[in-house]
Amino acid sequence: MTLRDLAGIGPKRALAFAALEIATPRDLLEHFPFRYDDLREATPSVTLGTRGGEENAVGTAIAVRERRARNIEIVEVDLRDESGVFRAKWIGRNRYAIGRFKNGMRLFVRGRVERSLAGPVVSVSTYRILGPDETYRGALVPVYHAVAELPSKTIAAAIARNFPRLLEEAPADPIPPAYLRATGYESLEVAYRNIHAPDSPEQAQRARERFAYGEFLVHAFASLRRRALRSLERGAEAMSDAQESVDRLERNLPFPLTGAQRRVIGEIARDLAGAMPMNRLVQGDVGSGKTLVAAAAILVAARNNVQSALMAPTELLALQHAQKLGPLLVPFGIAVEPILGSQRASERKEALRRLASGEAAVAVGTHALLTESTEFMRLGLVVIDEQHRFGVEQRARLRAKGGTPHTLHLTATPIPRTLAQTLLAGLDISSIDELPPGRTPIETFVLRMSRLERAYRFIRERVERDGQQAYVVCAAIESDEEEGMGPIGAVEEAARVAAGPLAGLRVGLLHGRMSSELKDRTMKRFSAGEIDVLVATTVVEVGVDVPNAVVMLVLDAHRYGLAQLHQLRGRVGRGGSASYCLLVHPDDAPQSARLEFLLKSTDGFAIAERDLELRGGGQLAGLLQSGRSGMRYGDPIADRPLFLAAAAVAREIFDRDPELREPGNAGLRSALLAEQNLRDLQLSS
Ligand code: ADP
Ligand code: MG
């Protein structure tokens, strides 16, 4: 059956559906509302406006006023219901309301309500003219993502009209019947109905939870299977003499490895010794010395005549990596080859040649390294720094280049164990949970907005007296003027401080809407000391090292997750000087106690756990993107208990029936087979 076989969908409408990526009846069935408008109850006029949010009202028109001011038309209708009088107001540019309403008409209206001296006024967002004797019967109206040619109402109608036929196209239920009984969830058919046409918000919510649960089950099972498969994989370079290489590296260092570095390097060395491809995540707080760990792995590889590729999220970071790795590896005769877009063509060509011939052992770049033109003689190790979205497709491209390389992921965002074990079951995890000794701790302060100007005076002093630098981080690119209450924008703040509290200093601006060249150039200027104070959005979060930057000022700090603030804090304290992190929140912001956790703790792991408890993770969501790619209904972080429950069930099923041959597991099996992202699971169909 195709979309066009459905009642009310012709070629033209089918095209409009295609714009919403709805190509089949199943797509339509799975196009869930993103919210519901509650039109069930009309509020009596006496209580209108006491509740907040949009409200519904029904009344009979007793006065109609229409006027036009420039292009804007304003229509006001006074309405009477049993308890009194209220006013409905339409303001618009598109001449839809003028001439529509007459005294004596019965109207249903919905909108935000303000109470004025003249009584409640509804700013109408939805309305309907009721027949003279029509009793108002409201419903919970599903609201769908829509396009102009295909409004939500039309989508709702198409679903309602064809519902039984759509159900025939429903996928099999991934939840095995026995578990369905145990959880008490409704059948799949009922769940679809309750999503598209619920009787109550609770019903819709429960149906949504059911779909999330099914999805979690699929993904948790996939993780288990992936891990099992990986343990059977072979074909990576099995390297020898790892410990000797590490000892030599350490003898060349001006300091001993920390205990944690030594342990993690040991874990990696064991992986590298085998033909099963390593797939390991190293998590370690900013400054914990991850570069050295990567260098050790690269050295082991190079001494086995195996090439490595290191990828960073930006060109500048790649360059910085190359600069840090060079001195560590050059003593061993290992050439580090940066491959950068900013290189001259001839330079780049020469670098590529050295990689292809095997003269160079290490390539460092962004994921442009994966493009066709980079050829390796014998690529056996891939190190991926802070690239959380490194997906299946990129991995496949890598495979095409280097057979089955060992992969090492580095991240400064620690993932709490409970989640990591289930979500990232395809990855092994090592933690560098110790900082090198002798760090000057960063002094952290939580300040109210009324102290902001003092904070800027402090920054000015650092710059003028010691030639040091500072970051100012804003939660938005631009201030939202209409809101008035929104976060301060980087653009406005940069302009304001350059003219005001930091006048005379060199103030720079950096945000995500700038081109990557401009971003790179700005960061380089900051890095070179040509900018004193960098006003930025969180793009600086995974930033380069600027040891001379000693102040991190974060505005609207209450809007961030603790883990993210900790990450931002890690941008300073990278040189020997005393460093400061100033967290500013509005005078009336609640929850400053939350921020104070950062005064107490500098342990990234503890902070991440705390963050998860407090607000379900924020930044972790991004980190885990690759671990949960393709999830539509649920968020394993926000719905952590549900996710962990589903993961436990997946484990039970996997232990008993890893190939999913039991009839009761057929639905789970077909869900796994249907999922594009899970093609690598090798379930026989
Ligand atoms: P990150 O984990 O943030 O990537 P880096 O690898 O950049 O950390 O290391 C931060 C700094 O700590 C570097 O200047 C590095 O030379 C230094 N460092 C790394 N390991 C040690 C150690 N064992 N003892 C002392 N300093 C170290
Ligand atoms: Mg680093």
Task: Kindly list the domain boundaries of the chain, sorted by start residue.
Answer: 1-35+146-167, 41-138, 288-411, 442-601
288 C-alpha to center of ligand 2: Å? 8
Tokens of 631: 């999830």
Per-residue confidence (pLDDT) for residue 677, from 0 to 100: 60
293 CA from centroid of ligand 1 (Å): 9
Q: Which residue has the higher pLDDT, 208 or 612?
A: 208
Residue with tokens 């529509």: 100
* Token pair for 589: 């912001």
Residue 615: predicted pLDDT: 56
Q: How far apart are CA 369 and CA 366, in angstroms?
A: 6
pLDDT band at 388 (very low <50, low <70, confident <90, very high): low
| Span 615-630, pLDDT tens digits | 554 444 444 444 444 5
**CATH (residue range 41-138):** 2.40.50.140
Nearest CA to ligand 1 atom 20: 289
Would strands 307-311 and 507-510 be described as parallel, antiparallel, or unpaired?
unpaired
Band (93; pLDDT cuts 50, 70, 90): low
For 442-601, CATH number out of 1.25.40.10, 3.10.20.600, 3.40.470.10, 3.40.50.300 equals 3.40.50.300
Select the more confidently predicted residue: 658 or 343.
658
pLDDT band at 421 (very low <50, low <70, confident <90, very high): low
The pLDDT tens digits for 568-622 are: 998 998 888 899 999 999 887 666 678 888 988 888 878 877 777 665 544 444 4
Q: Which of 252, 255, 298, 541 to mutate to test the pocket of ligand 1 (most atoms within 8 A of CB)?
A: 255
- Taking the centre of ligand 2 as the mean of its atom positions, its distance from the CA of residue 306, in whole angstroms, is 23
Answer whether 373's CB lies under 8 Å from 352's CB.
yes
What is the share, in percent, of the chain residues with pLDDT greater than 90? 56
Residues 6 or more apart from 362 whose CB is under 8 A from it?
Answer: 298, 302, 307, 308, 309, 310, 325, 329, 334, 335, 336, 337
- The residues with which 375 forms a beta bridge, in sequence order, are none
For residue range 351-374, what is the model confidence (pLDDT) as tens digits?
Answer: 999 999 999 999 999 877 877 778
**Which pLDDT does position 683 carry in this prediction?**
76
Determine the Cα–Cα distance for residues 170 and 163; give it in Å rounded to an integer. 11
**Given pLDDT bands bounded at 50, 70 and 90, which one contains residue 266?**
very high
Residue 292 CB–ligand 1 contact under 6 Å? yes
User: In CATH, what is the architecture of 288-411?
Assistant: 3-Layer(aba) Sandwich (3.40)
Q: What is the mean pLDDT of the chain?
A: 87
State the sign of the Cα–Cα–Cα–Cα dihedral 389, 629, 197, 159: positive
- 648 conformational bin, left if phi > 0, alpha if psi -120 to 50, beta if neither: alpha
The CA 412 to ligand 1 mean position distance, Å, reads 13
Residue 28: phi and psi, rounded to 5, are -65, -45
Of all helices (H) and strands (E), which one includes residue 64? strand 54-69
Answer whether 41-138 and 288-411 agree in fold: no
Burial 568-578 (b: 16+ CB within 10 A, else e): bbbbbbbeeee
Q: Is the CB of 286 under 6 A from ligand 1?
A: yes
Q: Is the CB of 547 under 6 A from ligand 1?
A: no
pLDDT per position as a tens digit, 105-125: 999 999 999 998 888 999 998
**Nearest ligand 1 atom to alpha carbon 286:** 3
Residue 401 confidence (pLDDT):
72
